[in-house]
Structure 1
Amino acid sequence: MPEDIPGHLQSLVAAALGDDAAREALATLVVPAALATNGGPYVSRAVFAMALNAALFQDLLARVPTGAAYVSDVRAAGGRILLDHGALRTIALPSGPTGALPPGYLAFARILEPLGYEVAGLYPLERLKMTGRAFRHRDLPEELSQFFVSELHVERFSPAFQKVAAHVFGSTRDPLDATATAALDAFEREGVCDFDLARRALPKLVAAFGRWHEAPSLLAYEALLAESPEAAWIATEGSAFNHATDRVDNVEALAEAQRRLGRPIKAEVERSASGGVRQTAFKADPVERVFHDLAGAVRRLVPGSFYEFITREPLPTGGLDLRFDSANAQGIFKMTATA
C-alpha cells in the first residue's frame, strides 16, 4: 500500500473491490491530503465518501473500455485522475415511490446526505423532461467528487409512456439492508462510524448504484426509447454511474489529443453561460443486453456509460467554479442517445 494512502481507506475500498482492485483504484485517483490519517476505531464521513467514490469509479472503468484506455495512458505517464463528479439517473413516477425506493433523487439523497453531501445547485433539464441536482461535500467541497443526480419526470410524457414506465420501474427493489442503514444512521448522527460496520456497509452502498428493477422486455424498452432515450438507458442500466468526470487543466487541448488518437470524443466542447466551466466526453461505449419477449431472448447492443472531462476556472471571489450548467448537461446527455 502506498504510504500516502490511509489504512482505513485502503481497507474500505478492498471490502468492496478486493485487495488488488483497491490498490489500483487508490493509485489512480487523487486522494485529498486531509484524508491521510491512519488507524483508530472510527471512520469519518469524508473517508467513507472517498472510498465510495473510488469503488464507483473503478466499477465505471470496468464497463467503459474507452475511459479505461485513457486512464491507462494517464497512469503510464505517471499521472493521477482528479475525479470531479459522478453522474447517475433516477426515475420519479407521477406519484408515490419508485417501487420500493423513495421517488427520484431522494433514493440517493438518503445515502449522500449522511455522508456529508448537500444539494448545492438545482438544474432544470427541460428538453429532457428531467431535473438535475448537484450534491457537494460540506467538508471538502473542491477535493471530494460531487454527485450529479438527475431525475426523469414520468408525468411529463404520454399516458402510454407512463403506463410502461410504471410497469418497468414499479418493480424496483430497495438494496439497502440493516447494515447499510445502521452505518448511514451513525454517519448522520455523529459524522463518524465504527470501522467494522463501515467496512461491512460499503459493498451494500456501492451495489445501490445499479439496476434494482427487473430487466425490461424489448417491447417496453422500445416504447420508452421512442419518447426518452434517457428513460430507456435507465431501464437497462439503472442508477449505475452514467459517467465519471476527470477534472483537467485544458479540456480543449485534451479533446484534440484524444481525437488524434482516434477515440470517439464529442465534436465540440460545451461551455457554461458563465464561461467558467467547459466540458466534453467520449461517446458511450455500447453494451450487450438481453431482452425477453414472447419470441424468446433477444440480444441487442445499447448505450452504456461513458467518460467525461471538465475544466473549472477560478471564481473572481476565490475558489473554483464548482457549478454545473443546464445547457452543458443536456449536451453531455447526448452521449448515451445511441449505441
Structure 2
Amino acid sequence: MERVQALFDELWKDYIDRLCPSAAKVHALLEEGSPLLNDHIALRTFALPKVGLDRLAAPFIAIGYTPKGEYHFKAKKLYARHYEHPNPDAPKVFISELLVGQCSTELQQAVRALVDQVDDTALNDPAFLYGGRLWGIDTATYHQLAAESEYAGWLSAHGFGANHFTVSVNQLSTLHDVLDVNQLLRESGFAINESGGEVKGDPQVRLEQSATMADKVTVRFSDEELMIPGGFYEFAKRYPLPNGGLYQGFVEASADKIFESTDK
C-alpha cells in the first residue's frame, strides 16, 4: 500500500493546490478525528493513442489495480472504466476519455494539435498524472473547445490531474446520509451540484452521490489568464449487495450528472 499511498498523496496535493483549493476546508469540516476515507478519484483524458485511457491506467495497474466496470455516456461522447485495488481501503479510480473521433472536425483538429505537443517520454513517469497541462493553448482554442464540449474545454485548460476526490459517507459517524452532508456544506457556504437532483442515485441502485460545484481557479493561457471551473469534491454512500459486501461500481445515470459539476 505504500506505493498506492505515495501516488494518491501527490494527486491530492495537486488537487488542492491547483484544481480545488476549497477541498481542504471541506475536508476539515467532515473529518471526525480520524482520516477521511477516499472512495475514489476521477481523471479525464482524450481518446487518442498517445494519451488515451489505457495510458492513464498504466501507472495504477503497475501498483496492483485491475479494470472493473465500463461506462458509456453517449450524449457527452465519453467512455469510462473504473479500477480497483485488492486492498479494499485503497481508493477506486474512475478514468474517462472523450471520444474525439465522434466530435466535429474542428474539435478533432484542435485536440490533435494539443496532443501532438506532448513529449512521449513525459508519459513514462507516473508524475504526469498530476502534472497538469503538457501543451500550450490560447484562450481562443479553449473557448472553441468548451463551446462544443465542456469536458474538452476543461481538459484542454487544466491537463492531467484529479478533477475530484470523494468522501466515503459510509465512514462518517455523525452524518449518516448524503443529504446531511449537503446540508452541512450549504450552511458553510458551498454550492451543491443540483443537476439531476442534489442526490444522484438511491438505495435501489446501491449508490448515492452528491458533489460541490467546482471551484473557480485561475488558469494561465498563452495569451492571458482566465478564471474557470477547476475541481470539485464528491460524496458517496454505498449500499450492501445480497452477499453483504458493499456495491463497488458506479451508476452511469448518476455519473453523467456528476460530470456537470465543472459546468460554467
Q: TM-score over 0.5 for the alignment?
A: yes
For residues 247 and 52 of structure 1, what CA distance do their matches in structure 2 show? 19
Higher relative contact order (CA closer than 8 Å, sequence separation 6+): 2
- Indicate yes or no: 2:263 matched with 1:337: yes
| Letter of the structure 2 residue corresponding to residue 133 of structure 1 | R
- Indicate yes or no: 2:15 matched with 1:60: yes
Corresponding residue for 2:173? none
Corresponding residue for 2:178? 251
Corresponding residue for 1:19? none
Secondary structure of 1:215's match?
A: coil
Encode CA deviations 1:73-92: one digit per residue, 9 max, x unaligned: 234x4242101111000111
Select between 257-266 and 268-277 the one with higher mean Cα deviation.
Answer: 268-277
Is the 8 Å Cα contact of residues 133 and 157 (structure 2) preserved in structure 1? no
Select between 247-256 and 210-219 the one with higher mean Cα deviation.
Answer: 210-219
Q: Give the superposition deviation at 1:209.
A: 2.6
- Indicate yes or no: 2:232 matched with 1:309: no
Corresponding residue for 1:18? none
- Indicate yes or no: 2:161 matched with 1:240: yes
For residues 72 and 204 of structure 2, what CA distance do their matches in structure 1 show? 17
For residues 242 and 93 of structure 2, what CA distance do their matches in structure 1 show? 24
Q: Give the superposition deviation at 1:256.
A: 1.4
- Indicate yes or no: 2:73 matched with 1:125: yes
Corresponding residue for 1:28? none
Q: Give the superposition deviation at 1:266.
A: 2.0
For residues 15 and 133 of structure 2, what CA distance do their matches in structure 1 show? 17
Structure 2 segments unaligned to the other structure (5+ residues): 171-176
Q: Give the superposition deviation at 1:169.
A: 2.1
Corresponding residue for 1:159? 105
Corresponding residue for 1:70? 26
| Letter of the structure 2 residue corresponding to residue 234 of structure 1 | L
Encode CA deviations 1:54-91: one digit per residue, 9 max, x unaligned: 2212331223232111112234x424210111100011
| Letter of the structure 2 residue corresponding to residue 135 of structure 1 | Y
Secondary structure of 2:161's match?
A: coil
Is the 8 Å Cα contact of residues 215 and 235 (structure 1) preserved in structure 2? no
Structure 1 segments unaligned to the other structure (5+ residues): 1-45, 182-203
For residues 316 and 108 of structure 1, what CA distance do their matches in structure 2 show? 33
**Is the alpha carbon distance of 1:113 and 1:272 closer, same or farther for their aligned partners in structure 2, counting shifts above 3 Å?**
farther
Encode CA deviations 1:247-275: one digit per residue, 9 max, x unaligned: 01321211112112221122311106943
| Letter of the structure 1 residue corresponding to residue 190 of structure 2 | R
Residue of 38, 45, 48 corresponding to 1:90 = 45
Q: Hey, which bits of structure 1, 4+ residues long, moved more than 6 A?
A: none
- Indicate yes or no: 2:36 matched with 1:81: yes
Q: Give the superposition deviation at 1:335.
A: 0.7
Encode CA deviations 1:262-294: one digit per residue, 9 max, x unaligned: 2112231110694310111111111112223xx
- Indicate yes or no: 2:145 matched with 1:145: no
**Is the alpha carbon distance of 1:111 and 1:135 closer, same or farther for their aligned partners in structure 2, counting shifts above 3 Å?**
same
**Is the alpha carbon distance of 1:170 and 1:272 closer, same or farther for their aligned partners in structure 2, counting shifts above 3 Å?**
farther
Secondary structure of 1:60's match?
A: helix
Paired positions, count? 254
| Letter of the structure 2 residue corresponding to residue 235 of structure 1 | S
Encode CA deviations 1:105-144: one digit per residue, 9 max, x unaligned: 111222111211111100101121011110111x21x311
- Indicate yes or no: 2:248 matched with 1:322: yes
Corresponding residue for 2:62? 114
**Is the alpha carbon distance of 1:290 and 1:176 closer, same or farther for their aligned partners in structure 2, counting shifts above 3 Å?**
closer
Q: Compare CA radii of gyration and give the structure with the larger one.
A: 1
**Is the alpha carbon distance of 1:261 and 1:70 closer, same or farther for their aligned partners in structure 2, counting shifts above 3 Å?**
same
Select between 280-289 and 103-112 the one with higher mean Cα deviation.
Answer: 103-112
Q: Give the superposition deviation at 1:160.
A: 1.2
Q: Give the superposition deviation at 1:318.
A: 2.1
- Indicate yes or no: 2:215 matched with 1:288: no
For residues 273 and 124 of structure 1, what CA distance do their matches in structure 2 show? 22
For residues 104 and 14 of structure 2, what CA distance do their matches in structure 1 show? 34
Which TM-score applies when normalising by structure 1? 0.71
Corresponding residue for 2:84? 136
